[in-house]
Amino acid sequence: MSFVDEYVRQIIGLEVTLYHARARLEADSDAEALHDLRIAIRRLRSLLRPVRTRDEIIPLNIAAAEVGRITTPARDLEVMIGELARHGYLQQADRRKAILKSNYASILKSPALVTLFNELDNWPAAFRRAEINGELACVETEIDKSLNNRVKRLVVGLADPGHDRHDIRIMVKNTRYLAEAFPHISSLRKKSREELKTVQSALGSWHDHFQWCVKAKIEPDLRPLSRQWATASETALMKAESKLVSLHHHLKQDLKK
């Protein structure tokens, strides 16, 4: 199978996942539907990122970014509700469940979601035309360069103790998904890929608790948990910092290969 064939196959696979997640969200069948939809969106955007400026890619990339944007508040609310329920704050959780249901309905009726599926239907034909015209001859090289540049930027960021940890979290996430999208191109060894996942999880925990502390300042019913969240945020960041050192070391080693 050619590189272009494999590339198209992966995106069509994600399209199937997105259709399934949307159907589950419509049926309200399980609590992971939106989460799975967003993961598929992230993986789709990772596949598109290295070639996102190509004419045949731009509409799909914009559509995927917009769906990612409009689903973020609902996902944040899902995570918040789960956190409140775990700590026994059921009234606070229940107050937010009605808002969440409304958010689901808005997402399902959104023009952004319709546009995304339309672009997913239209994209393969445009991409194949570009292939026939010889415009994709260097696409694998372009993706290889993009991945290496992303790893280099992350290494530079990790070497700077003052680099914003929110930015590091995003760079780690994007590097991980891009490396996983193109494992046969990526120069990252298994250990580095595992550490990217571990660091993403640690920084994700810190980010969630940090955001909840911010919300507690403007939503009074969350304030009983603010001190606990602040402590958890500090602990998660400390854990992440130790893992960042190891990640930096392994990524530098991989770049030398």
Last residue of a domain, one of 137, 171, 197: 137
Which residues form the domain of 226? 141-257
Judgement on whether residues 213 and 121 belong to the same structural domain of the protein? no
| 161-178 pLDDT per residue, tens | 899 999 999 999 989 988
Q: Within this chain, do residues 133 and 145 fall inside the same structural domain, yes or no? A: no
Q: How many helices (H) does the chain have, and how many strands (E)? A: 9, 0
Average pLDDT over residues 74-91: 96
The pTM assigned to this predicted structure is 0.90
Q: Average model confidence (pLDDT) for the chain?
A: 92
Same domain (yes/no): 238, 174: yes
Give me the mean pLDDT over the 42-48 stretch: 91
Listed residues 137, 165, 188: the one ending a domain: 137
Q: Residue 94: which region, alpha, beta or left (left: phi > 0; alpha: psi -120 to 50)?
A: alpha
Strand (E) or helix (H) holding 128: helix 111-132
- Give the span between the Cα atoms of 73 and 129, in whole angstroms: 37
pLDDT for position 92: 96
Residue 126 tokens read as 């445009």
Per the structure, the count of domains in the chain is 2
Mean pLDDT of the 21-25 span: 97
Which is higher by pLDDT, 50 or 23? 23
DSSP assignment of 151-211: HHHHHHHHH-TTS-HHHHHHHHHHHHHHHHH-TTT----HHHHHHHHHHHHHHHHHHHHHH
Q: Quick one: DSSP state of residue 221?
A: G
Share of the chain above pLDDT 90, in %: 71
**Final residue of a structural domain among 137, 153, 177:** 137
Mean pLDDT for the stretch of residues 45-67: 91
CATH of residue 9: 1.20.120
pLDDT at 257: 67
pLDDT tens column, 172-214:
998 998 888 888 888 888 899 999 999 999 999 999 999 999 9
Give the pLDDT confidence score for residue 3 in this predicted structure: 82
User: Both 1 and 108 in a single domain?
Assistant: yes
CA atoms within 13 A on the CB side of 193: 14
Based on the domain organization, do 37 and 83 belong to the same domain? yes
**106-146 tens-digit pLDDT:** 999 999 999 999 999 988 888 888 888 888 888 888 888 88
